[in-house]
Structure 1
Amino acid sequence: MNCIYFKFIGLHFQTKLHITLNKLFFSHSTVSLKNKCGSKGPPWRVMFFGNDDFSVKSLQILTSKMRTQTIISKLDVVTTSKGNSRHVRHVAKEEKLNIYDWPVTETCLNGNYDIGVVVSFGQLIPEKIIKCFPLGMINVHASILPRWRGAAPIVYTILNGDLTSGVTIMKIQPRRFDVGEIVRQHSCTVDKDETAEELKRKLADMGGRLLVDCFKELTRTLRSAVPQPETGITYAPKVDKSMADIDWNATDSNTVYNKYRALCGIWPLTTTWHGTTVKLLKLCKYQISNLEIQLKPGELLYDKQRHKLAVKCGGKGGYVSIEELKIPGHRPMSGKDFFNGFVYMKAENERKFDSTLR
Structure 2
Amino acid sequence: MTRRPRWSSLLRPSRGRHFSLAAPGQPPYRVLFFGTDDVSLATLKLLHAAGNDEQGNPLVEHIEVVCPSDRPMNGCKKDEPVPVKRFAQRHGLKVFDTPAHLKSLKTWDFPVADSFDVGVVVSFGYFLHPHMLKNLHHGAINMHPSLLPKYRGPAPIHHALLNGDATTGVSVIEIDPKAFDVGRILLQEPYDIKSGIQCQELANELAEFGAEGIIKTLSELPSRKEAAAVQDDATASKAPKLTLKDGVLSLNEPAHEIFHALSNSVGVSVQFRDKVVKLIEIRLTSDEELQSVLADEIRHGSASTGTFFFEKKRQALWLRCAGDSWLLITKLQQDGRKIGAALDFCNGYRLKNMQRERFDKIIADSVNSKL
**Shorter-chain-normalised TM-score: which range?**
0.7 to 0.9
Within 5 Å, give how 1:17-36 maps onto structure 2: none
Structure 2: 5+ residue stretches without partners: 1-24, 74-80, 99-104, 365-371
When the two structures are superposed, what TM-score results if normalisation uses the length of structure 1?
0.77
Give the root-mean-square deviation of aligned CA atoms: 2.8
Q: Aligned in 2, Cα 1:338/1:108: closer, same or farther, shift over 3 Å?
A: closer
Within 5 Å, give how 1:302-313 maps onto structure 2: 309-313=317-321
2:137 aligns with 134
The amino acid that maps onto 1:253 is: P
**2:59 equivalent to 1:71:** yes
The amino acid that maps onto 2:325 is: G
Q: 1:260 Cα shift? A: 3.0
Give the Cα–Cα distance (whole angstroms) in 1 for the partners of residues 338 and 235 of structure 2: 46
When the two structures are superposed, what TM-score results if normalisation uses the length of structure 2?
0.75
Moved more, 236-245 or 215-224: 215-224
Q: 1:346 Cα shift? A: 10
1:356 aligns with 362
8 Å contact kept, 1:246–1:357: no
Within 5 Å, give how 1:97-246 maps onto structure 2: 97-102=93-98, 103=105, 105=109, 108-109=112-113, 112-246=115-249
Give the Cα–Cα distance (whole angstroms) in 2 for the partners of residues 157 and 53 of structure 1: 20
8 Å contact kept, 2:41–2:84: yes
**2:286 equivalent to 1:282:** no
1:258 aligns with 257
The amino acid that maps onto 1:296 is: S
Sequence identity, in percent?
27
1:319 aligns with 326
Moved more, 270-279 or 324-333: 324-333
Q: 1:332 Cα shift? A: 2.2
Name the structure with the higher helix share: 1
Q: Aligned in 2, Cα 1:302/1:345: closer, same or farther, shift over 3 Å?
A: closer
1:47 aligns with 32
Q: Tell which structure's C-alpha radius of gyration is larger.
A: 1
Give the Cα–Cα distance (whole angstroms) in 2 for the partners of residues 55 and 308 of structure 1: 36
Give the Cα–Cα distance (whole angstroms) in 2 for the partners of residues 304 and 71 of structure 1: 58
Q: Aligned in 2, Cα 1:63/1:274: closer, same or farther, shift over 3 Å?
A: same
Give the Cα–Cα distance (whole angstroms) in 1 for the partners of residues 124 and 314 of structure 2: 46
8 Å contact kept, 1:253–1:285: no
Q: Aligned in 2, Cα 1:174/1:295: closer, same or farther, shift over 3 Å?
A: same
Q: 1:108 Cα shift? A: 3.1
Give the Cα–Cα distance (whole angstroms) in 1 for the partners of residues 178 and 70 of structure 2: 21
Q: Kindly provide the CA deviation profile for residues 121-144 of structure 1, in whole angstroms up to 9, marking residues without a partner as x.
A: 111111233233221111011111
8 Å contact kept, 1:54–1:200: yes
Q: Secondary structure at the match of 1:66?
A: coil
Moved more, 274-283 or 71-80: 274-283
Q: 1:204 Cα shift? A: 0.8
Q: 1:105 Cα shift? A: 5.0
Q: Aligned in 2, Cα 1:47/1:337: closer, same or farther, shift over 3 Å?
A: same
8 Å contact kept, 2:246–2:266: no
8 Å contact kept, 2:35–2:122: yes
Structure 1: 5+ residue stretches without partners: 1-39
**2:334 equivalent to 1:333:** no
Q: Kindly provide the CA deviation profile for residues 59-94 of structure 1, in whole angstroms up to 9, marking residues without a partner as x.
A: 011011123362111111111226676111101101
The number of residue pairs the alignment matches comes to: 311
Give the Cα–Cα distance (whole angstroms) in 2 for the partners of residues 105 and 340 of structure 1: 58
8 Å contact kept, 1:252–1:318: no
